[in-house]
Amino acid sequence: MDQLLKIGLQAAGEAGEVICRNFHNIAGSDIQAKGKNDFVTRVDRESEAIIKNAIARNFPGHRILAEETGDSAQASEFLWVIDPLDGTTNFIQGIPHFAISMALLRDSKVMFGLIYDPLSKECFHAFSNQGAFLNNARITVSLTGKMSSAVGATGFPFKSPQFLEQYANVFKIMMAQCQDMRRCGSAALDLAYTACGRYDFFWESHLLPWDFMAGKFIVEEAGGKTSDFQARELAVQTSSVIAANTALYPKILQVIGTFFN
């Protein structure tokens, strides 16, 4: 575990330096569109290369699934799921809210997760059955049990317009019931903030595994509950995501289940 954390921190730190050095200095020629409202930059690729090289040096037998280069397809019981820059649109727009996310799975079960904010230098991490931590201080999900006192976070389904009507209906009910809602543009940080109690819950209708795999694990190790919108366990596939403390989770699931089934 010490070796995993050391290597994860080193890789995230080196990648974070590249991200910070280029923040506010990204050129138009460094940006490419992968799809509608979906972008990648030179910095995403450089960050990913740093992390992948660190894993290859230290764990040469491990398989890697990374956002920009896909699946290494190497036969292994170990799988790294990596997002080198979660919140690329924020990065491009000069909005200081993005993170590096990495998770290590063994036989399809997450055993290590790390989310690093290179601007604030906040590092969230967790090991299986060892709890969750922010810069080495233990964290837990919030104790808020009433929706009227809860502050939630979400993400707009900009890549999946087919979910827009259901999303709008859920959002309307959520806003009527909870204290407030945030949409900041990085699912990894939304999940990390849920793990440490800054948010009481998080939900989003369409995410890729590198967006949520580390975050869902950190939430669980912090005492929270996660699933997709049908209460199924999150796996390495495109999925909806709910994360909350155990008191709020069934209430969030009930509202969402009215429109997503």
Q: How many CB atoms lie within 10 A of CB 120?
A: 12
Helix (H, G, I), strand (E, B) or coil at 65: strand
Give CB contacts under 8 A, 24+ apart, made by 18-22.
Answer: 18/43, 18/46, 18/47, 18/50, 19/43, 19/47, 19/85, 19/91, 19/98, 19/100, 19/118, 20/118, 20/119
Give span(s): CATH 3.30.540.10, the chain. 2-139
Q: What is the DSSP letter of 178?
A: S
| Residue 86, phi-psi category: left (phi > 0), alpha (psi -120 to 50), beta (remainder) | beta
| Residue among 113, 104, 108 at smallest CA distance from 218 | 113
- pLDDT at residue 11 in the model: 97
- pLDDT at residue 164 in the model: 87
- 199 vs 193: CA distance, rounded Å: 6
Tell me which of 117 and 37 has the higher pLDDT. Answer: 117
- 128 vs 199: CA distance, rounded Å: 22
> Are residues 203 and 260 in contact, defined by beta-carbon separation less than 8 angstroms?
no
- 211 vs 239: CA distance, rounded Å: 10
Burial class (CB in 10 A: 0-12, 13-18, 19+), 69: middle
| Residue among 217, 18, 34 at smallest CA distance from 111 | 217
- 22: which 2 tokens? 């280029």
pLDDT tens track for 90-117: 999 999 999 999 999 999 999 999 999 9
**Architecture of the CATH domain 2-139:** 2-Layer Sandwich (3.30)
- Work out the pLDDT band at 37, boundaries 50, 70, 90: low
- 117 vs 12: CA distance, rounded Å: 9
Question: CB neighbours of 194 closer than 8 A, spacing ≥ 6?
Answer: 141, 153, 200, 201, 202, 215, 219, 224, 243, 244
- 113 vs 217: CA distance, rounded Å: 6
pLDDT tens track for 199-251: 999 999 889 999 999 999 999 999 999 999 999 999 999 999 999 999 999 99
Give span(s): CATH 3.40.190.80, the chain. 147-257
- pLDDT at residue 2 in the model: 86
Q: What is the CATH number of domain 147-257?
A: 3.40.190.80
